[in-house]
A = this chain, B = another copy of it.
Amino acid sequence: MAGWNELLDQLHELADLGAATAILDWDQQTKMPPKGAEARAHQLATLQGIHHERLTSAALRDALEGAETAGDGPAPFRGEAGQALLRETRRIVERGSKLPVPFVKELASASSRAFERWQRARAESRFIIFRDDLARLVDLKRREARYVGYREHPYDALLDEFEPGQTATATAAVFQEIRGPIVALLRAIQASPRQPRREILTQHFPSDNQWAFGLEVLSTMGFDFEAGRQDTSAHPFTTGFSPGDVRVTTRVYENELPVALFGTIHEGGHALYEQGFAPELMRTPLANSPSLGMHESQSRLWENVIGRSSAFWRYWYPRLSARFPEQLSRIPEEDFVLAINHVRPSFIRVEADEVTYNLHIILRFELEVALLEGSLEVDALPEVWNAKMDELFGIVPERDADGVLQDVHWSYGSFGYFPTYTLGTLYSTQLWMALKRVFPDFEDRIARGDVLFIREWLRENIHRHGSTFVAQELLQRVTGEGLNPTHFLGYLRQKFSALYQLVW
């Protein structure tokens, strides 16, 4: 047991350091005055440096080995949970230890420079400004993959950071399975005579009322405001410092109703996950989701499967209209529901609808894999991007800013991150199937404004476990099967055939 106590002490301190970093980051994005940025960069670097130092220390390794030798841990870390804690600790310790410190510093400095260059490149819509930095980052990420190690493909080493256990080959197979059907569905929707009146959503919606409506929805979802808060930031995000302190952010556009509304529901889904970790996992690596995909499954389930459903708006549309009578009282509910489900090819991923969103991800995944394995040169990237846009969407951006330069991720060196968005989407519809099995009156309850039972079920089956189970195992336990994209395809066909009155 001595080994275990030592291990837990060290893990607690690591978790505290991680939380402190997250608090500084939240503050930077929501409250910090502009001239605080220089010192904040130092403060974050110091905390991260100490975290890395301790994560890769001989002391932690010794404590981990001590606990492994001792076997069962103290409550609540007996049996399964204890083994899970050792597994997760070993995973993060080993991943952290494989990267030499000079390499980590080189990568941090290259990303920082690349981010500056990317901002300029996007503002001027000139890929050439970003080209050298991107090439350098690709090279560094290939080196990172070699340090980390992989069996099949260098991409596996990167993907594994965000979606442990997932591989490029498995991802490619799943994406291949959904690619064709999504394109076919998109073409069918485009051909439908029934099309939304999107101008419903671009009227003037005063921000105070948007904010108040968002809080009402968050509350009804079961977000605990005694254990969290919402603020505004340039880019919406969720961050948790403990299950008792989970913060979401959103942004409000007065002429674009869906931005704040669905942003809030999306982040709310992430936040319920973070508020739902079992308290006894606090300050350990198990107070975390097992993968980014699993985290995203929660936000997508709430935002899209629930939040963009007809049933949801049966209850909520009268309430929204009451807040915005001038804008909405003469708009029928079904027109509103169709408008928030407007499907069309578009250039910008973050503005994409449920059908085309995953095509944006597939495009990025294919390019990332090719860059990493060296079958695609950075110089050819804009051209190949545009060719793939044409192939998948039937449209080609006129400016690199609307194409290859649109996402910030690569400038951070985040390769292997994008697929988790689609994996999360696939998980979300598998959870939806499970929910409908357990609650045959699933839609009726939502239509009556009752969604709390969903949070309860998710909390019991997913949230409270943290990362006690790896993503695939958790999915298997909860849904009775592994990753299976047919449910997503079934969901899309059913939902959009009804909305667009498609005949198959």
Chain A residues at the B interface, C-beta cutoff of 8 Å: 12-13, 16-17, 19-20, 23-24, 27, 31-40, 42-43, 45-47, 49-50, 224-229, 241-242, 244-245, 282-283
Contact = CB atoms under 8 A, between A and B. Distances in A.
A347 to B, nearest CB: 35
Contacts of A47: 16-17, 20
A31 B35 CA distance: 21
B27 A23 contact: yes
Given A20-B24, A33-B229, A245 B39 contact: yes
A50 B16 CA distance: 11
A46 B224 CA distance: 26
A242 B36 contact: yes
Nearest to A39: B242
Contacts of A23: 23-24, 27, 43
A229 B32 CA distance: 8
Given A31-B229, A33-B228, A245-B33, A20 B43 contact: yes
A32 B23 CA distance: 10
B39 A17 contact: no
Contacts of A244: 33, 35-39
A39 B19 contact: yes
Nearest to A54: B50
Top 5 A-B residue pairs of the complex, sorted by shortest distance between their CB atoms? A36-B245, A39-B242, A35-B244, A16-B46, A35-B227
B229 A35 contact: no
A35 B244 CA distance: 5
Contacts of A43: 16, 19-20, 23, 241
Contact of A33 (B19, B36, B227): B227
A92 B112 CA distance: 35
8 contacts: A12-B46, A16-B45, A16-B46, A17-B50, A20-B24, A23-B27, A33-B225, A36-B241
A20 B241 CA distance: 14
Contacts of A226: 33-35
Contacts of A228: 33
A463 B283 CA distance: 40
A36 B227 contact: yes
Nearest to A27: B23
A224 B16 contact: no
Nearest to A224: B35
Contacts of A40: 241-242, 245
Contacts of A45: 16
Contacts of A33: 225-229, 244-245
Contacts of A19: 39, 43
A242 B50 contact: no
A40 B283 CA distance: 11
Contacts of A32: 245
Given A27-B27, A229-B33, A39 B224 contact: no
A197 to B, nearest CB: 39
A96 to B, nearest CB: 18
Contacts of A49: 13
A17 B46 contact: yes
